[in-house]
A and B are shown apart, each in its own frame.
Chain A
């Protein structure tokens, strides 16, 4: 693993996430027949937020400020375990997939606690939804990991996704389709995208993730936005390597393939958000159970 590769990995991880938000926004604007915000709008938002003063409710304690920080820190650390495209991740060891999943759980613990720290009914509601849905998303994720671990015979994300991935499609295509579908549902739910959550609605009652952060402002809100974008980026990278395991042979071309693939995946998310209506909140668990079943079925197919 070359130093230059690590640097590219870290730079992409730190810089690219807000761009995905821009691509999603642009795609949605295209479908709506609007010009839409510029591609780099998320960057402008972040820069602006980090320069703004903030209002902090007097009911809050240190937990309120810990939420955004831990959320961002865990997303960055998790990003170091995921291989981008065909490149090995900077850090990998046997079992890092468990740490990967639990880092997000740590982030969730603190963002949800931060929401409860404000003592607001709406934020409590959002926090409850966020943690409840993750109870069903987590098994789906681990069912998916089981399939990948069985196919590759290894327990680190790099070894699972890197080498054997292109060959696995020939051997167990059906299982991988199921896992990809299940992970896509998990990705949409965990990152609060339509059809499961709509961050742009005007009704706090119907939101999941956005309502948790109502009270955060200024730099803290910036950190939350950045952390959310990074979580989206990391999960997209995981999915992308499963659905498009292309290697050209040249490492620099591979980086290009990865970047283009990520943008394409963001466009797919944008298209899904444009053509689908939001589901009733009570149906979200149904879809998550379906996601669990999909990847569980993927294992059953391998088990035969």
Chain B
């Protein structure tokens, strides 16, 4: 089971690139949903055995990250009738290149970190770092409020991957707490999106700068 971790993480990293390079909101959300499902699978794989808790945890992650939140986002697109294209501040090619650079740096940097013996050579740390970076990149370079939510999700996924390092040490309560945290955050953001759209009749975060006074 354990040797499945790296292929799954490679797929997670590729989905990061997909989220960075895709021009359609739907594609981006699909990529994030798939990433969520893969992370759920990762929980089981990382525990290395089918305990009831691991399976429950995986189910929770898959339902929340893979099904529930994406549906929420799709719902938001329909309800608030957002245009279906991502509006990047920097171009798609530039975002892809930055993402690639971030991944390369993450790999190089993770080689210098003092990590537990059994994780040396595994992709967990580089994948976590680069997913977090990708999340930040999406947060900082996309205009729409809904892509902000996506960026936050990716960021959170990165932190989730970090959690795989502590799979023995971390009690399930904490993991579930993290998931709950995510849920609340998305919920709040959903409300904010609705607010933005009602106030400004668009959902571009650019308009928020008029509140700076």
Contacts and interface: CB of A to CB of B under 8 A. Distances in A.
A and B touch in the complex (CB under 8 A): yes
A174 B123 CA distance: 11
A290 B111 contact: no
Interface stretch (B5-13, B75-83, B134-142, B175-183): B5-13
A178 B93 CA distance: 19
B184 interface: no
Interface string B78-120: 0000000000000011001101100110010001000000000
Contacts of A301: 10, 123
Contacts, number: 45
A101 B73 CA distance: 45
A300 interface: yes
Contacts of A173: 7
Contact of A289 (B6, B96, B104, B123): B96
Interface string A259-284: 00000000000000000000000010
Given A286-B92, A290-B21, A304-B107, A297 B13 contact: yes
Instruction: Report the interface size class on chain A.
Output: 10 to 19
B10 A177 contact: yes
Contacts of B97: 289, 293
A286 B27 CA distance: 15
Per DSSP, are chain B's interface residues mostly helix, strand or loop, or mixed? Answer: helix
A218 interface: no
A219 B93 CA distance: 41
A289 B107 contact: no
A300 B103 contact: yes
A294 to B, nearest CB: 8
Among A177, A292, A301, A304, max chain B CB count under 10 A is at: A304
A297 B103 contact: yes
Contacts of B92: 283, 286
Given A283-B23, A286-B96, A289-B93, A300 B107 contact: yes
A161 interface: no
A304 B111 contact: yes
Instruction: Report the interface size class on chain B.
Output: 20 to 34
Contacts of B111: 304
A2 interface: no
B107 A296 contact: no
Given A285-B93, A290-B96, A303 B107 contact: yes
A293 B17 contact: yes
Contacts of A290: 17, 21, 96
Contacts of B104: 296, 300
Given A286-B93, A289-B93, A297-B103, A174 B17 contact: no
Among A294, A297, A303, max chain B CB count under 10 A is at: A297
Contacts of A293: 17, 96-97, 99-100
A303 B104 CA distance: 10
Nearest to A303: B107
A174 B107 contact: no
B7 A296 contact: no
Interface string B126-157: 10000000000000000000000000000000
Given A285-B93, A293-B99, A300-B104, 4 more contacts: A289-B93, A293-B100, A296-B104, A304-B111
Interface of A: 173-174, 177-178, 283, 285-287, 289-290, 292-294, 296-297, 300-301, 303-304
* Top 9 closest pairs, chain A to chain B, by CB: A293-B100, A174-B10, A286-B92, A289-B93, A300-B107, A289-B96, A286-B93, A290-B21, A286-B21
